[in-house]
Amino acid sequence: MLSTSGDTDGSPRPRRVLPGRAGTVARLAADATSARTPPLLLVTGPGGIGRSALLAAVRETLTERGVRVLDLRLARNERDRHHALAARLAAELGTLHRAEDGRRPAHTAPVAPQPEAGRDLTAALRSAVASGETLVVLIDDLQWADAASRGTLLARIRSLTGGPVTFVCGYRTTPGGTARDRAALDRLRAAGLVRVVPLRPLCSAEVDTLVAHTVRARPSAALAARLRRDCRGVPAAVLAAVAGYRREGALRVLQRHACLTSPERPPAVPDDLPLVEHLRHLGDRPWSVAKALAVLHPLGPPAVGLIARALETDEEEVREQLELLRAEGVLWCAGGRWRFRLPLLGYALAGCLGQFERRRLSQLAVTAVWAGEAVADDHVLAEHLVTAGRFVDSRRAAGELVTRGRAALLHDGHHAVRWLRAALDLTTEPEQRAAALLLHATACCIHLRHAEAMESAWTVLSRYTGLVTSEDLFDMEAIWVVSAAGVSDTTALAALAEERWRTLPGGEGHRIVARCLALCHLERWREAVDHLTATREIWSRENDLVAAVGQVVSETGAALLGRTAALDRSVDDPTRYPLWHRGGRHRFQRLTSLARVLMQFNELDRAEALLAGHHLPSGYRPIPDRVVADSHAGHWDRALDLARTALAADTWVGELTSHTMASRELSTILAARGRLTEARAVIEQAKSVHSLLLHLLAVPESEWEQILGGRERSLQVITEALALAGERGLVVGTDELWLRRAEAELVTGDPAAARRSVAEVIRVAELTGTSRAQLCRHIGVAMMEGDRTASAEAVRLARRRNQPLELADTLQTVVRLGQADPALLREAYGLYGDLDALMRKAQLRNLMREQNISVPDRSATTSENERLLAVLVTEGLTNREMSIALGCSEKSVESRLTRLFKRAGYRSRVELASAILTGDYPVGRPG
């Protein structure tokens, strides 16, 4: 959080305080100058918890209030110098007392310890007390004070009770601490001479705030979860992790959120992390043991012996160093398994190892597992195999990596790709390389890493055709086509579709289906479907894989053209598929393909029933597909976070029709929440790459054009989309486009044209039979015929479909048509509220006023209006554009902005935008 303090000229300036600590700073500053406070305030906590930052904030606060402050920070080497602290403190107090202006001078050089240091400190404290002026002595890292000085200081503190001198000290605690320190503190507590202020770890919300202030963006759910797991709320660790991510380019800011490019990878922590420096100072032996443990601890109890072997020492010596590290608060142990209390510290220490050291440690781990001396799960062993490289038997290592990569193919794409890539680097045997390449291409394609998939698939097709089966060959051809589309290589796709398909390896069925797959990715749907229909006798008998892909391409293409019978049969019984019983990967691809086409027709209920009834073989589902499903189901926050995760990792452009649908949903959500510039950017990004079914993007595009007053442009967008769909013979999604065109034509006073558009809606509904098309049909009929029965049927159908945005839109549409009870607007208002759709709620309030429907919770409405206004400001909208979007005058916008800036305390749009980035002015849903 940010607090403000005054500069010397009296103007406010920001002061950074760790989140959640402002109250502690204020209380410490107040207690330090109170006569009722014990003479010693001891701020405790483990390393990195923020004691130094807290003391710095207390010092700044006291200085601003004109309180004299003496600030000392101890170094580790002072613990070895007898009476070092006592001598320094006596000298500093003497200098401060003699200073005429009462201001704290610069630090003097350390004073050499003297036998009379205790007497000098006593005299200096008496002088400070006698002066009668309040003095606060801050001592950071008191744990480094030598034993003699601590004893002297604690003895003298008894004489300060009720006096003007207070000590505020930071003391790093360890889980055990020393018996002497605990006894001394107990005696001081009993005598009322000390108040201990323990600093707790930051909670999740406070960590999020700290990250936001550091990178000027809120952390994504994946980043927040990773920091919680690795840093355990320790501020220094959080900052080090964020610095590590930023240093290696693993953190990207998207839509005001900080996202990881690869959430599975730990951060490259800078080796100057204070916790690492603390370990360095413990000595070479504990330092070496800690580094080795960072690599070997997943092996459990055998790690002790392996560390001893790596360091060429005995196990007893290793255990002594581990116990030392436990006493220092670095480690904990349960059941013989040693762990780092702070997981991030383990990553940092592993990063301090040289390449040879890491490989040697992993070699020991692999050798121990292979010999039966240790046990490791598949993930741990695979990671050690990758690190060890050729330090172990390369052939065996490559084989095991291929096995583990195959097992992780669906549920853990990041590691499957990593392990299979490592297997390729380890082997030169043609058969083993071919097997690894097949799996690597497959894993990359499934997890949307198209460039890598394309490279591996082409390597098989150009070098290893004689070492793989006919089905494997076709598999690589199909992966190559999909991946070429994923990287927008339309030139390669066109060449394949026109000529190169004739020279593909494999049988004629291979070439036919591969060509038609390329045609579909070039949006030549009719040509592909017609060719597959004409050649069915050839490709359906080639082999099971060719027959299966041919069936999917034929069903999908025909459905998009409005011929849904084959798709409906497969949805009813997805097991009618040549590869259904050939393994989890094929069932996964079958089910996700069918669900994806259903979602293109906005059939969420059927898609979810399909997946629930036949169970995906893995919890994995491509992110763009999940974004679409979550958006339709009303889980907008989750959809946004998934989208940002995919964008950061460059896996947003997946299966191309899914990418278009996900872009459409993302733009819809952003526009509904007032983020119009971001919504526009999503559409532009989708158009900048090779995409399919682009006419579906017209719906959100026309919406934000209309919000900003571009009614003519909005209608033009719809008209162009319908022309594009007609040119390509596409029917999918045109029901909604024709309905929106009819609405626009009625507004512009052309009922004849609107009637023709509604007739098209009815035609599409009869052709496809989907419930979404039927909903559009009922609304169209109600619009043109004034049919209250059609309106009632539309509401009934929208309720059954259970998509919150669709239901809310339907309710307000039938009320606007004058064919339903205006009280339904309250339900629509609540649905928009659940979605945090600020823009939709603002627009609906205007309709509610027209219908004399009271808006619930006026105070919440005021807050929402301010939040929406703040969003529109940060989106860069002018006052005129905001007035159009909100349906009010420019003067009203100016008045609202004035009240917003005055109430929130910001002086400009730039300040407001900055506060939104850091979360100081939240524009998301409260809480």
Residue 927 has pLDDT above 70, yes or no: no
Whole-angstrom distance, CA of residue 342 vs CA of residue 484: 44
Q: Name which of 168, 145, 129, 135 is nearest 28 in CA terms.
A: 168
CATH architecture assigned to 859-926: Orthogonal Bundle (1.10)
- Which of the pair, 104 or 143, is modelled with greater confidence? 143
| pLDDT confidence bin for 476, thresholds 50/70/90 | very high
Residue 10 has pLDDT above 50, yes or no: no
Tell me the mean pLDDT in the region 355-363. 96
Residue 90 has pLDDT above 80, yes or no: yes
Whole-angstrom distance, CA of residue 529 vs CA of residue 532: 5
pLDDT in the model for residue 108: 42
| pLDDT confidence bin for 286, thresholds 50/70/90 | very high
| pLDDT confidence bin for 112, thresholds 50/70/90 | very low
Tell me the mean pLDDT in the region 153-164. 79
Q: State the Cα angle at 460 between 457 and 466, rounded to 5°.
A: 150
* Residue range 21-99+114-198, CATH number: 3.40.50.300
Most confident option among 94-103, 148-157, 173-182, 316-325: 316-325
pLDDT in the model for residue 35: 82
Render pLDDT for 519-535 as a digit per residue (tens, 0 to 9): 999 999 999 999 999 99
Residue 2 has pLDDT above 60, yes or no: no
Most confident option among 143-152, 740-749, 852-861: 740-749
Residue 14 has pLDDT above 90, yes or no: no
Ramachandran category for residue 543: left, alpha or beta (phi over 0 → left; psi -120 to 50 → alpha):
beta
Q: Say what the pTM is.
A: 0.87
pLDDT in the model for residue 115: 52
Render pLDDT for 202-227 as a digit per residue (tens, 0 to 9): 999 999 999 999 998 899 999 999 99
Alpha helices by DSSP H, 84-173: 84-98, 117-131, 147-157
Number of residues written out for the chain: 927
357 Cβ contact list (under 8 Å, min separation 6): 291
Residue 182 has pLDDT above 90, yes or no: no
- Which of the pair, 927 or 363, is modelled with greater confidence? 363
Tell me the mean pLDDT in the region 595-612. 95
What does pLDDT average to over the chain?
89
pLDDT in the model for residue 176: 55
C-beta atoms surrounding 767 within 10 Å = 16
- 269-353+360-372 and 859-926 have identical folds: yes
Residues of the chain above pLDDT 70, percent: 94
Residue 586 has pLDDT above 50, yes or no: yes
Residue 113 has pLDDT above 60, yes or no: no
pLDDT in the model for residue 617: 80
Ramachandran category for residue 339: left, alpha or beta (phi over 0 → left; psi -120 to 50 → alpha):
beta
Tell me the mean pLDDT in the region 444-448. 93
Tell me the mean pLDDT in the region 471-486. 95
CATH architecture assigned to 269-353+360-372: Orthogonal Bundle (1.10)
Buried b or exposed e, range 511-525, using 16+ CB within 10 angstroms: bbbbbbbbbbbbbbb
- Which of the pair, 365 or 263, is modelled with greater confidence? 365
Tell me the mean pLDDT in the region 723-733. 96
Residue 76 has pLDDT above 80, yes or no: no
Residues of the chain above pLDDT 90, percent: 68
CA 20 → CA 201, 303, 872, distances in Å? Answer: 10, 39, 30
Contact 630, 640 (CB under 8 A): no
Domain ranges of the chain: 21-99+114-198, 204-260, 269-353+360-372, 859-926
591 Cβ contact list (under 8 Å, min separation 6): 574, 610, 611, 614, 616
| pLDDT confidence bin for 43, thresholds 50/70/90 | very high
Residue 81 has pLDDT above 80, yes or no: yes
Residue 654 has pLDDT above 80, yes or no: no
pLDDT in the model for residue 98: 65
pLDDT in the model for residue 3: 35
